[in-house]
């Protein structure tokens, strides 16, 4: 498959906001050290045409930040974005090719604007449609996402959560993207509505040839929708594999622990130990392998050395000192 979007050794750091006490102390002349949050740390990730990549990990591991970097909302602190192999940051077209759908459509849809304005705003701004075509344009997109075209004259508060998420999807589609970054896009919806919106994502993939970076903490949803799964832990990718491979044979102790938390998924499969302890602070990440303080296999090497992400089978990459190198077949280099 040809990669559309690639994140090449991308890191994203934030300066931690100072709380009130720190700001007052700073005003009084105290020397306050700025703390740095290592939200995303040296991540390589790609999304191919029509591919659904599931991005999974506990809260705070950097999924949303990575999604925002992929969608061009946050510039990376290090590394770069490539669109079809070319640096993407300078071309407006490349930025429009990746659109984002968020968890809470109520806060991302302007409550004072009519739906036709919300949907047509970006393509009008970018000169893709004329003002007089905006209403028909919105009606057409509403139909594409399974809503009544007459809804275009209504306001966001007049819709249910599932309908608002469809409107957010229509707005994302308005600039003709090739990749949608869906950030916990079904997490706030009831289970039956979740299934409908997931089906809509899959229908749009068929109809429009879309690819997705699908961010979710819900492994059940990811198993259902993704072709490939990327597991993040404290800003780094720890494992990446085709979905079936990852669910049948997770290799990283963190991936195994995540799967152990979903009983339905482990039925009839190998049993793994659930994860213990809290995710450490990205302000002061552990040395070596970030997962070592919670890992049952950790030893001195894990505490001292960061494991590289190695390809141990075609398409299956893992960053763990304890996963053995694959044995070379006779005649292989």
Ligand X SMILES: Nc1ncnc2c1ncn2[C@@H]1O[C@H](COP(=O)(O)OP(=O)(O)OP(=O)(O)O)[C@@H](O)[C@H]1O
72 binds ligand X (CB under 6 A): no
Nearest-angstrom CA–CA distance, 61 and 234: 4
Q: 9 or 17: whose CB is closer to ligand X?
A: 17
Does position 64 bind ligand X by CB under 6 A?
yes
Please check whether residue 16 is in contact with residue 35, taking contact to mean a CB–CB distance below 8 angstroms: yes
Under rule CB under 6 A, residue 57 binds ligand X: yes
The token duo for 296 is 């049952």
What is the bridge-based pairing of β-strands 236-242 and 316-318?
antiparallel
Q: Does 37 bind ligand X (CB under 6 A)?
A: yes
Site for ligand X in 282-321 (CB under 6 A): 282
Closest distance of CB 58 from ligand X, Å: 7
Residue 76 binds ligand X (CB under 6 A): no
- Least Cβ distance, residue 213 to ligand X (angstroms): 12
If you write DSSP's letter for every residue of 34-71 in order, what string do you get? Answer: PPEEEEEEEEEEEEETT-EEEEE--TTSSHHHHHHHHT
Residue closer to ligand X by CB (options 41, 116) is 41
37 or 138, CB closer to ligand X? 37
Contact between 2 and ligand X (CB under 6 A)?
no
- Residue 9 is encoded by which pair of tokens? 């050794």
Q: Is 59 in the site for ligand X (CB under 6 A)?
A: yes
What pairs with residue 6 in β-bridges?
46, 82
Asked if residue 240 binds ligand X (CB under 6 A), the reply is: no
Please measure the distance between the N-terminal and C-terminal CA atoms of the chain and give it in whole angstroms. Answer: 25
Maximal C-alpha separation, the chain: 70
Rounded to a whole number of angstroms, the minimum distance from the CB of residue 12 to ligand X is 8
Binding site for ligand X (CB under 6 A): 14, 37, 39, 57, 59-65, 217, 282
């Amino acid at each position: 498959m040809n990669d559309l979007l690639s994140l090449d050794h991308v890191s994203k750091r934030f300066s931690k906001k100072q709380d009130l006490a720190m700001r007052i102390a700073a005003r009084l002349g105290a020397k306050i050290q700025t703390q740095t949050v290592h939200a995303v740390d040296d991540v390589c990730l790609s999304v191919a045409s029509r591919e659904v990549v599931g991005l999974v990990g506990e809260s705070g591991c950097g999924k949303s930040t990575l999604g925002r970097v992929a969608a061009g909302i946050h510039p990376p602190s290090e590394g770069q974005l490539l669109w079809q192999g070319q640096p993407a940051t300078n071309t407006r077209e490349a930025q429009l090719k990746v659109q984002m759908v968020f968890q809470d459509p109520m806060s991302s849809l302007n409550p004072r604007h009519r739906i036709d304005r919300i949907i047509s705003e970006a393509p009008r701004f970018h000169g893709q449609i004329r003002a007089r075509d905006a209403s028909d344009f919105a009606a057409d997109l509403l139909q594409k996402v399974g809503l009544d075209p007459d809804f275009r004259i209504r306001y966001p508060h007049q819709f249910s959560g599932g309908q608002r998420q469809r409107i957010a999807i229509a707005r994302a589609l308005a600039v003709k993207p090739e990749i949608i970054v869906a950030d916990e896009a079904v997490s706030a919806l009831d289970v039956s509505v979740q299934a409908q919106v997931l089906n809509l994502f899959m229908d749009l993939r068929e109809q429009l040839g879309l690819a997705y970076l699908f961010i979710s903490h819900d492994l059940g949803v990811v198993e259902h929708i993704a072709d490939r799964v990327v597991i993040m832990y404290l800003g780094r990718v720890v494992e990446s594999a085709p979905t079936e491979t990852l669910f049948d044979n997770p290799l990283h102790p963190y991936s195994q622990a995540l799967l152990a938390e979903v009983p339905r998924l482990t039925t009839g499969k190998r049993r793994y130990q659930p994860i213990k302890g809290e995710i450490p602070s990205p302000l002061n990440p552990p040395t070596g392998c970030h997962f070592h303080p919670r890992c049952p296999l950790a030893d001195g090497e894990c505490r001292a050395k960061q494991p590289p992400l190695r390809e141990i089978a075609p398409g299956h990459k893992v960053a763990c000192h304890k996963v053995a190198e694959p044995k070379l077949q006779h005649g292989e280099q």
